[in-house]
């Protein structure tokens, strides 16, 4: 079985919890032409205290797809460190696979704002920019041309696409991994199977879920001495829970859990409404 998995890292930046590193994208292709749509709302908490909210919309058609998300800090965290952000990706559906052509992510706080843009083609990053241009840091491991090849943008990869006709919630869907470039960092994330369970949103989805372990491996574009990098690379208890988009063989994150020195950081769907497009009716001659 081939799979393709990813976790959208903008939630980490928006909520100030996940340091922009919890992104996963694994090689493979969507082997179905069914169409589907997701409208989801998420809440971020730290040690049970609400710190952020966001929304995520995905549309998959026969030949085009789009994904967009917005979010920001909330509750007590907003009073100390208010921030908002958005991300979007779009592209074509080619031979059943999602092939992005563009990606944009913007974050803003009271002190600064930043926009990352990427142009993609053939599974590689053809061009990217950060506005405003960040200062050069000699301690940061540089991004090379090779680091931009065979990687994926965050939003396009913010789905787990299971090929073939096998059971979507199979343990094999978790046993994979690949490289990611988010405009600043190049890193690998690996998945492994943990368990199957049932989840229920306050609105929408109620059903089976696939829980996978996450392992973060930094490659380039980061400062090795940063405590958050060392901490996340050493973690063995992070996990992501996936559920399906109706009408497709695509699984998307329902819940993300990360242990921290301050308690468990969690991003979880409160509303998860997914619908399949109606089947096409063949035209009569």
pLDDT number for residue 279: 58
Model confidence pLDDT, tens digit, residues 209-235: 999 999 999 999 999 999 988 998 999
Angstrom distance (rounded) from CA 229 to CA 223: 8
- CA R_g for the chain: 18
Model confidence pLDDT, tens digit, residues 44-81: 998 998 888 999 999 988 888 899 998 888 776 666 66
Express as a percent the part of the chain with pLDDT over 90. 42
pTM: 0.83
Q: Judge if the upstream peptide bond of residue 236 is cis by omega within 30 degrees of 0.
A: no
pLDDT number for residue 118: 95
Model confidence pLDDT, tens digit, residues 99-134: 889 999 998 887 889 999 999 998 899 999 999 999
pLDDT number for residue 99: 81
Q: What angle do CA 38, 44, 50 make, to 5 degrees?
A: 135
């Amino acid at each position: 079985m081939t799979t393709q998995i990813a976790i959208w890292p903008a939630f980490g930046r928006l909520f100030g919890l996940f340091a922009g590193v919890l992104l996963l994208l694994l090689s493979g292709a969507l082997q179905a032409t069914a169409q589907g749509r997701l409208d989801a709302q998420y809440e971020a908490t730290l040690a049970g205290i609400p710190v952020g909210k966001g929304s995520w919309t995905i549309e998959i058609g026969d030949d085009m797809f789009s994904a967009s998300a917005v979010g920001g800090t909330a509750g007590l965290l907003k009073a100390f460190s208010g921030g908002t952000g958005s991300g979007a990706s779009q592209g074509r559906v080619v031979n059943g696979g999602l092939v992005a052509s563009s990606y944009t992510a913007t974050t803003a706080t009271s002190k600064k704002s930043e926009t990352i843009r990427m142009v993609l083609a053939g599974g590689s990053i053809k061009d990217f920019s950060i506005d405003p241009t960040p200062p050069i840091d000699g301690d940061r491991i540089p991004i090379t041309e090779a680091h931009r090849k065979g990687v994926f943008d965050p939003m396009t990869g913010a789905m787990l696409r299971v090929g073939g006709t096998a059971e979507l919630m199979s343990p094999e869907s978790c046993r994979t991994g690949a490289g990611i470039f988010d405009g600043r960092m190049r890193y690998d994330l690996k998945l492994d199977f943990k368990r199957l369970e049932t989840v229920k949103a306050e609105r929408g989805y109620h059903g089976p879920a696939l829980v996978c372990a996450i392992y973060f491996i930094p490659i380039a574009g980061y400062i090795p001495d940063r405590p958050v990098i060392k901490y996340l690379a050493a973690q063995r208890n992070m996990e992501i829970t996936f559920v399906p988009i109706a009408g497709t063989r695509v699984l998307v994150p329902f819940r993300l859990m990360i242990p921290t020195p301050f308690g468990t950081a969690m991003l979880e769907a409160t509303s998860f409404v997914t619908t399949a497009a109606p089947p096409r009716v063949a035209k009569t001659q």
